[in-house]
């Protein structure tokens, strides 16, 4: 379930732009772009997703 909070958009867009800038500008040349993208996407997904309630 996604968070119902408009503030999330202001977090996600800069995060995606940061990932894109890092790859395009080769700022982290020691990182594999595919792994970096996958890790970043997973982190952003966790940030905007609510945990399922226990029980």
pLDDT, tens only, 1-55: 777 777 777 878 888 898 899 999 999 899 899 998 898 888 888 888 877 765 5
Residue 14: the pLDDT is 87
Token pair 């395009």 is found at 24
> Comparing C-alpha atoms, which of 37, 39, 11, 10 is closest to residue 22?
37
Residue 26: the pLDDT is 93
Residue 38: the pLDDT is 92
pTM above 0.75, yes or no: no
Cα dist from 41 to 46, 53, 54, whole Å: 9, 23, 25
What are the sequence ranges of the domains in the chain? 13-48
């Amino acid at each position: 379930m996604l968070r119902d909070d408009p503030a999330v958009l202001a977090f996600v867009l800069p995060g995606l732009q940061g990932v894109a800038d890092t790859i395009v500008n080769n700022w982290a040349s020691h990182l594999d772009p595919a792994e970096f993208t996958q890790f970043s996407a997973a982190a952003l997904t966790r940030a905007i997703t609510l945990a399922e309630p226990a029980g």
